[in-house]
Amino acid sequence: MKSPVGSGSAAVPLRLLEVLEPSGGGSGRHFLDLCRGMLARGHHVEAIYSPVRAEDGFVRELRALGLPAVHAVDMRRAPAPSDLVAFRAIGRIARERGRFDVIHGHSSKAGALTRLRLPGPHVPRVYTPHAFRTMDPTLGRGGRLVYGAIESALSWFFTDHLITVSKDERAHGLSLRVPSGRMSVVTNGVETPSPDMAQTVRASFGIPADAFVYGFIGRLCAQKAPERLLDAFKSAASVVENSHLVMVGSGELEGELRRVIAESGLQNRIHLTSAFSGPQAIAAFDLLVMPSRYEAMSYVMLEAAAAARPIIISDVGGARTAVDNGQNGFIVTNSDDISDLAKAMISAAEPGIHAKLAAAAHARKDRFTLERMLDQTEVVYRGLATRRRADGPNRQAPSADWVFATEGGS
């Protein structure tokens, strides 16, 4: 749905406070895109980030946006006594920087700290989980019960609106008893990656022009399961002889992955790097492989779709939003048994099959634009701000009659 209030609108600008704890991955990318986009639309946007886990590149880009103010507040991922200090700091900024129309918390820690509040004049709170904590399959039953109960309580009593980034994430929210009328789907959006770096990326690793390149982009962590891909490539490489694997990322598993690569006998065909960004590297791939254990809606997947690249992805959140199984890619079993993944990688590299996958990917490349994401988020912000002004400081949580996408987005 196109927002009635887009770029260049004469509507009254909003005062927005965006808050994020982690800076890497899709949540950091989304945060920067949202701050930049809303500022370009004429809104007053201030940002709070945590320097505890902040990547240098994220901080530089955030400060270069030209926002009226960027605030640093120490927030830690795990629950800690320091949360009280962070809660007070966020509250002080919200009070002292003027009257905000909306406060938007991103990811679990910032989402909790921004939604909890003391009695007094109410500023509408929006929360985007970027994958609920309870979507992590390694969390365990006890952890899911605890975090699920916390999310349910926060959603019922402290949340004006919750934005999920895929239908799968919304379905998970409903399973946690998040009120359906306060939840909508706004799929992430991306700019089309430039093809300019494709030859540079391949040449940097000595990859021949006619080689078939499998690609991976993401943090080298348990969630993204890069070790699954290494195992699957060992099988695929013996069949697809002129194939290479380029893995772009860094993280806590990097040392172990480099050891596995060194012992694989495929050192000349597996290339692990953090020298390129995802948008720079993706045009060098013939196919993106995402063996993740869980996702909400991966930016990497959307960038591959925008670049018209076929995708192989495990059966995780958002997979069916971007991949029509067997048409522009394959959705494989989400398992540490990599046989299904290896078979899909081998099949997708067959010239005839790859040509069909690539043609279908090209036909779908304009599904996920950044402007659409900004339009739909702005609809949520304006709906909350309008109701706040109409109902006064003691307003109740809104009904969903103004929300465009409570049943799944456009």
CA-closest candidate to residue 257, choices 314, 300, 218, 210 = 218
SS3 (DSSP) at 391: helix
The amino acid occupying position 204 is S
Query: Is the pLDDT score of 234 beyond 90?
Result: yes
334, 315 contact by CB (below 8 A): yes
SS3 (DSSP) at 96: helix
b/e map 352-361, b = 16+ CB within 10 Å: eebebbbebb
In this prediction, residue 57 carries a pLDDT of 86
31, 65 contact by CB (below 8 A): no
In this prediction, residue 389 carries a pLDDT of 66
In this prediction, residue 287 carries a pLDDT of 97
CA-closest candidate to residue 229, choices 134, 300, 312, 294 = 312
In this prediction, residue 139 carries a pLDDT of 83
Query: Is the pLDDT score of 408 beyond 50?
Result: no
State which CATH number among 3.40.640.10, 2.60.20.30, 3.40.50.2000, 2.20.25.240 fits the domain covering 15-189+369-391: 3.40.50.2000
Mean pLDDT value of segment 168-183: 93
- Both tokens of 20, joined, read 């994020």
- What angle is formed at CA 185 by the lines to CA 216 and CA 40, rounded to 5 degrees? 80
In this prediction, residue 390 carries a pLDDT of 65
Residue 403 pLDDT grade (very low, low, confident, very high; cuts 50, 70, 90):
very low
pLDDT tens-digit readout, 293-326: 998 788 899 999 999 999 999 999 889 989 999 9
In this prediction, residue 10 carries a pLDDT of 54
Which segments of the chain belong to CATH 3.40.50.2000?
15-189+369-391, 198-363
- Both tokens of 119, joined, read 């009695």
Count CB-CB contacts under 10 A for residue 112.
Answer: 21
Query: Is the pLDDT score of 7 beyond 50?
Result: no
Pairing of strands 287-290, 183-185: unpaired
Which DSSP state fits 355?
A: H
Q: Could you tell me which residue, 391 or 307, shows the higher pLDDT?
A: 307
Which CATH superfamily is 198-363 part of? Glycogen Phosphorylase B; (3.40.50.2000)
